[in-house]
Amino acid sequence: MKTIALLPALLLLGACSTAQKETATTPPSLKDAFADSFLIGAALNTDCTNGLDPATDSLVSLHFNSIVAENCMKSEKINPSEGVYEWDDADNFVNYGTERGMKIIGHTLLWHSQLAPWFPLDSAGNNVTPDVMKQRIANHISTVMTRYKGKIHGWDVVNEAILEDGSYRKSPFYEILGEEFIPFAFSCAAAADPDAELYLNDYSMASPAKRETYLKIIADLKARGIRIDGIGMQGHMGMDYPDFAEFEKSIEEYGKAGVGVMITEWDMSALPTVNQGANVADTTAFNKLLNPYPDGLPEDIDREWNERMGRMMDMFMRHADVITRVTAWGTDDSKSWKNDWPMKGRTEYPLLFSRSLTPKPFLNKYLNK
Ligand code: G3I
């Protein structure tokens, strides 16, 4: 009798411990947490996509449903000399994402930085003519996009074209072709892969002047019937920037302009701000004051950092109707470019995962919802 009476309780206990086991073996993931809101992505370096970093692979496979190439698709890497293409790393990156069913983002087709040195110059070292520049842009975009046609979800077609004051960056593309280089690049990209999304991508997107220029460019492309699908608002942030209200206004204004909004390259420096931009050419001499926490973040700074990141994530959630993707610029803190910028040897804490690969506390409310 006793045994029979105990049976339901024992069965229940068994069910509970099975459920607990399942919960314990399947940690909550960011991609599930944000599934109803937007894609959640990370920039990957070649160690991960070339199979040399299994720990990062596990983290990425669990948490992210989108990836972007941190460096291997930039022109100096993929097209180092005229007519010469180095595909290995980019192929591995694309295969990595394809095998895991991820939305793959190509970064980037036209960018002044890490631009292959041959690209804007003739054999005498002078800028090429506008016609030659157009031909080179068309060839580069067509060759790279065609190789990955059908596999890449979206491309950063033009990266960092506008300065904080709203003027055009005096890049070789601008010097040779003027403002027309942007519509030209988007036309080439649309022709190369009609199914890939096409984006503009830039940092300091809280700047009102920059916002105005990008809104004009978007309106101009649309008026001319040239396809643009989204704008990437690079999220390189710090403890005292960007202005949250202006950043949010940019999200709203771009949304109203009829393009998808992506928070790209998200990271928030926890160290004193040296420079608000993201130009790797800006370096300062090594200074211990600029590397104040080599052994870990003090509790109060860690709390403040998590509070700021949480407020940002809440902002992204408020605008999930227009935000299509949020992508971190790296995986764990050890993988951030910010450890080397604006000087080498900084110990930074800007990403969503700590060096021990655990999610940062601000994510808990989403992961445990
Ligand atoms: O690959 C070489 C390696 O062969 C060499 O031994 C080593 C020596 O320093 O350098 C390696 O190249 C480095 C490359 O990263 C790969 O690690 C470059 O020096 C270094 O400058 C390069 O930095 C990248 C930077 O873009 C270049 O402009 C960062 O990793 C990358 O995170 C950063 O990303 C940019 C985005 O593309 C655009 N927005 C801003 C963002 C931050 O600057």
> How does pLDDT run across 235-284, given as a tens digit for each residue?
999 999 999 999 999 999 999 999 999 999 999 999 988 777 776 665 55
Beta bridge partners of residue 105, listed in sequence order: 68, 154
Residues labelled as active-site residues: 160, 265
Tell me how far the alpha carbon of residue 71 lies from the centroid of ligand 1, in angstroms. Answer: 6
Of the candidates 251, 246, 229, 298, the one whose C-alpha atom is nearest the C-alpha of residue 270 is 298
Which of 337, 341, 346, when mutated, tests ligand 1's pocket best, judged by the most ligand atoms within 8 Å of its CB?
Answer: 337
Q: How far is CA 51 from CA 36, 56, 62, 89, 103, in A?
A: 31, 10, 16, 11, 19
Q: Which residue has the tokens 């980019």?
A: 90
Is the CB of 113 inside a 6 Å radius of any atom of ligand 1? yes
Strand, helix or coil at 280? Answer: coil
- Note the pLDDT of residue 121: 98
DSSP string for 58-108: HHHHHH-SEEEESSTTSHHHH--BTTB---HHHHHHHHHHHHTTPEEEEEE
For 129-160, how does the pLDDT look when each residue is reduced to its tens digit (9 = 90+)?
A: 999 999 999 999 999 999 999 999 999 999 99
Q: Note the pTM of the prediction, 2 decimals.
A: 0.91
**pLDDT above 50 for 299:** yes
Is the CB of 280 inside a 6 Å radius of any atom of ligand 1? yes
Q: Convert 43-73 to b/e letters by CB count within 10 Å (16 or more is b).
A: bbbbebbeeebeebbebbeebbbbbbbbbbb
Is the CB of 279 inside a 6 Å radius of any atom of ligand 1? no
